């Protein structure tokens, strides 16, 4: 009798175990959407990359609290802001991990990632200033030249600035910005008397500063990643004794120890992020926003939203990547971490602001 009861208990336990596994499998049985993320997690932009990573993990956590159609798995790799490394990450994401989308940041790396993803019909989301075109399977969330011009040109005219010198890094994104304004400003009656492009390893700009000074610019406008901006501002003061310089958004990316050099100077503030998002992010991470933090949140948030809301074609498990990216590109008046944005030709541009660095903070300028 005891043996029979023992055997019955074992059978019941085995059945219960099988049922538990079955329920667990059903609970975890959602199709998985794999997403690759390539970021600069070491090197000069490590902090910016880490902040974007934190923002995307926040976005993922938000969706985990919902009853989604799919589970989402992130693969996060370091690209050190090196195009070759980012390209290798993209190839690995696609050929080994089997991702349906890749998220990247900065114009230094996102072009090769876009190209590789597009060739494989994989979605590519990015945060890149100066990027005016994207491939079929790509989208970009970042402030763009037209939005900057709408604010910059009235400011220059109000300050009676008639001659400017453009100071750029010799990179794809910086040159895209420089070329745009070298063409646009003269049409607005503002003469571009010089246009300098510095390689990223440049450390001495004194001779070129003296050369530009001979052309008597009223103001210098710069867009160069750190440490180039830091070096230019410092050496302009040392060489010419001047601080007549503004940035297209690169001042806030300077090394904070250099901020005293830009006390009282204004910049186009391109660090997107609503007050609500900034507070939420700071409360959770104890860190301040930088370029692409809020943009990266929106990239993942919109990507997941698009997968959740794109119909699945008959006989398929997932919506097609083509349908998902078209869903993204059709978005209008999306209210997210970067504010209200709409996509046009695959690009959404958050609104920039004019700000001045004063008393250890970036104050909004009311024109």
Among 183, 200, 201, which residue's Cα sits nearest to residue 192? 183
Mean pLDDT of 87-113: 96
pLDDT at 32: 98
Buried b or exposed e, range 2-39, using 16+ CB within 10 angstroms: eeeeeeeeeeeeeeeeeeeeeeeeeeeeeeebebbbbb
Six token digits for residue 245? 């310089």
pLDDT exceeds cutoff 90 at 116: yes
Answer yes or no: are the C-beta atoms of 234 and 204 closer than 8 Å: no
pLDDT exceeds cutoff 80 at 2: no
pLDDT at 367: 65
d(CA 56, CA 72): 12
17 against 240, higher pLDDT: 240
pLDDT exceeds cutoff 50 at 36: yes
Percent of all residues in the chain with a pLDDT value above 70, rounded to a whole number: 92
Q: Which 8-state DSSP code applies to residue 260?
A: G
pTM for the whole structure: 0.85
pLDDT at 186: 98
Strand partners, 343: 348
Among 332, 353, 343, which residue's Cα sits nearest to residue 273? 353
Average model confidence (pLDDT) across the chain: 91
Query: Which residue shows structure tokens 């944005």?
Result: 341
Per DSSP, the three-state class of 107 is coil
Q: Which 8-state DSSP code applies to residue 142?
A: S
- Reported as a pLDDT band with limits 50, 70 and 90, residue 132 is confident
pLDDT exceeds cutoff 70 at 24: no
d(CA 128, CA 335): 19
pLDDT at 19: 39
Identify the structural domains of the chain with CATH numbers, from first to last: 32-143+273-350 (3.40.50.2300), 145-269 (3.40.50.2300)
């Amino acid at each position: 009798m005891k043996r029979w009861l023992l055997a019955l208990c074992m059978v019941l336990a085995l059945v219960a175990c099988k049922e538990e596994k079955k329920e667990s499998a059903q609970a975890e049985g959602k199709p998985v959407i794999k997403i690759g993320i390539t970021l600069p997690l070491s090197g000069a932009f490590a902090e910016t990359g880490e902040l974007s990573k934190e923002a995307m993990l926040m976005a993922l956590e938000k969706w985990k609290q919902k009853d989604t159609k799919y589970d989402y798995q992130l693969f996060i790799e370091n690209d050190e802001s090196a195009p070759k490394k980012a390209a290798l990450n993209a190839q690995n994401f696609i050929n080994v991990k089997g991702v349906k989308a890749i998220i990247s940041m900065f114009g230094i790396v996102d072009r090769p990632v876009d190209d590789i993803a597009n060739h494989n019909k994989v979605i590519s989301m990015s945060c890149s200033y100066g990027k005016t075109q994207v491939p079929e399977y790509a989208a970009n969330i970042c402030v763009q030249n037209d939005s900057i011009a709408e604010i910059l040109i009235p400011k220059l005219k109000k300050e009676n600035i008639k001659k400017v010198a453009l100071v750029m890094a010799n990179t794809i994104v910086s040159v895209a910005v420089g070329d745009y304004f070298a063409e646009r400003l003269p049409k607005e009656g503002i003469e571009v008397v010089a246009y300098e492009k510095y390689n990223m390893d440049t450390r001495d700009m004194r001779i070129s500063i003296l050369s530009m000074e001979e052309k008597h610019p009223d103001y210098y406008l710069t867009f160069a990643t750190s440490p180039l901006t830091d070096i230019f501002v410092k050496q302009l003061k040392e060489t010419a004794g001047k601080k007549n310089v503004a940035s297209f958004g690169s001042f806030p990316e300077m090394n904070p120890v250099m901020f005293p050099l830009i006390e009282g100077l204004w910049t186009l503030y391109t660090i997107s992020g609503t007050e609500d998002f900034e507070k939420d992010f700071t409360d959770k991470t104890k860190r301040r926003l930088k370029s692409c933090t809020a943009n990266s949140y929106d990239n993942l948030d919109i990507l997941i939203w698009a997968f959740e809301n794109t119909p699945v074609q008959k006989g398929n498990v997932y919506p097609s990547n083509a349908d998902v990216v078209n869903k993204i590109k059709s978005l209008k008046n999306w209210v997210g971490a970067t504010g209200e944005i709409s996509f046009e030709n695959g690009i959404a541009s958050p609104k920039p602001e004019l700000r001045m660095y004063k008393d250890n903070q970036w104050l909004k300028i009311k024109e």
